[in-house]
Amino acid sequence: MTMTFKPDETFRDEFSFNNSDEAILRFPFPFHEDRYMYSVNIEPHVAGGPSDAFQATFDVDEHYVAECRDRALTLAADPLRCQVLPHMQAAEWDTLELLMESLSRDYPQHFRLTRDGEWWTWINGPLGIADRFRFGDASTLPLPPFEYITRQAQGDFCLLDHRDDNLFMDGGMVTSQADWSLDFDLGMSFVEWHAPVPLAHQMGVFDRALQFLLRLQWGKPVRRLNWTMTVNPRLDTSPENYPHWGPDRASITPENVGQKLHLRVELQTLFRLPRSNGVLFGVRCYLIRLDELVRVSKWARRMHRVLQSLPDELAAYKGLARFRGTAVTWLAQYDDGAPTAAGTAAETLAA
């Protein structure tokens, strides 16, 4: 598979990010029906499914180089976006091992891992990195192992400790988040960090999800999709930087909504970590402009219907209240009322 990276695109300032036709067609569209409600929509994270984004353990796409650079910029301004509590050291090495093995297996043209006993050599072609280090000895790496490897991956990563029949957010690399803060949530339990989510608690969603995740096994990772909407293709929509992006929510007009408003989909993955018995929670962010999305007619119809029928509490929680009406009105022109075909996969792409 050939892949052309777009190293100069940006997720801030002039916002030059956009999706190629290939990237639109592989977008992990999250709505399998014309309405949306919470569910424990967990499935095995195996190759396959309706989008090419599900083919690799950790998907690498045309935005890889630019996303890694955006992460570095965010970290330079705020180093607390990457924090790991001291008892998570084994989980740091688990993460490095999982990412290096997966990337080098799934993308051998870009990443190479060579092992000589405890001494490992890691080559990252797209980022121009080549390092030799001793596995388990952090002094042989230029950065702590978790930060080192997650600076070379798209998406956020959280390290969850498994103890007391619960999961605790005891580490993370979080620079492309939908309005939550690692610095705030660090050390919280599963139910604590989900506390702000409306409706789902009453439905018992989190109790069931936690029970399931406590039994997550090595070799059988799982995934789910989550979604929200973001004004401008901004990865770092953090509470810390709310003054930079919060006001954007008031900037949507009927004229600019197709250009400025993005569907933001999180491909969430969960892996049992074998050395630490912890869990790695990956949150990979995919962005698509509404005027890119409507080029797939099924997605256009369904997006219109989902947004129109969304319960008000959910719209408020996801931060959509100020522009939902504008978006629904704009999307209506792409919804002829025809039934939508089953599944989420893209059909054809309009010009």
Partner 1 sequence: MSRNIDRIELRVEAMRDLSPSLKHLRLVPAHGQGQLLAPASAGSHIVLTLRDASRTFRNAYSLTSKPGARDAYEIIVRRVQESRGGSHFIHREIATGAMLEATPPANLFAPVRTARRHLLIAAGVGITPFLSYLPELDALGQPFELHYCARDDEQTCFASWFGERPNAHIYQDIEGHRLDVPALLRAQPVGTQLYVCGPDTLMDHVLASARDLGWPASTLHAERFGAPSGGTAFVVSLARSGFDVHVPGDVSLLDALEAAGVHADSQCRGGACGVCKTSVLEGCPEHRDYFLSAAERSEGRHIMPCVSRAIDERLVLDL
Least distance between partner 1 and beta carbon 104 (Å): 13
Q: Which residues are within 8 A (CB) of 48 and not within 5 positions of it... i.e. 6 or more apart?
A: 54, 55
User: Helix, strand, coil: what percent of the chain each, to 5?
Assistant: 35, 20, 45
Sign of the Cα torsion 38, 43, 49, 54 reads: positive
The footprint of partner 1 on residues 124-163 (CB under 8 A) is: 136, 161-163
Which residue among 224, 249, 275, 322 is the active-site one?
224
Least distance between partner 1 and beta carbon 190 (Å): 13
* DSSP designation for 249: G
Which residue type occupies 230?
T
Does residue 92 touch partner 1 according to CB under 8 A? no
CB 244 within 8 A of CB 121: no
* 61 burial type by CB count under 10 A (0-12 exposed, 13-18 middle, 19+ buried): buried
Does residue 102 touch partner 1 according to CB under 8 A? yes
CB 196 within 8 A of CB 185: no
- Asked about 69 being catalytic, the answer comes back as no
- Looking at the Cβ atoms of 194 and 249, the one nearer to partner 1 is 194
Least distance between partner 1 and beta carbon 28 (Å): 15
Does residue 37 touch partner 1 according to CB under 8 A? no
Q: Which residues pair with 83 in a beta bridge?
A: 172
Does residue 194 touch partner 1 according to CB under 8 A? no
Does residue 16 touch partner 1 according to CB under 8 A? no
CA-to-CA distance for 168 and 212, rounded, in angstroms? 15
Among 2-10, 52-60, 226-234, 304-312, the segment contacting partner 1 (CB under 8 A):
52-60
The footprint of partner 1 on residues 275-334 (CB under 8 A) is: 275-277
Least distance between partner 1 and beta carbon 209 (Å): 7
CB 309 within 8 A of CB 259: no
Among 11-19, 25-33, 210-218, 304-312, the segment contacting partner 1 (CB under 8 A):
210-218
CA distances from 182 to 67, 179, 207, 337 (A): 19, 10, 22, 42
Angle at which helix 297-309 crosses helix 324-332, to 10 degrees, equals: 140
Least distance between partner 1 and beta carbon 188 (Å): 14
Does residue 40 touch partner 1 according to CB under 8 A? yes
Among 43, 255, 313, 347, binds partner 1 (CB under 8 A): 43
List contacts with partner 1 (CB under 8 A). 39-47, 55-57, 87-88, 90, 94, 97, 102, 105-106, 136, 161-164, 204, 207-209, 211-212, 215, 217-222, 274-277
Residues that are catalytic? 224
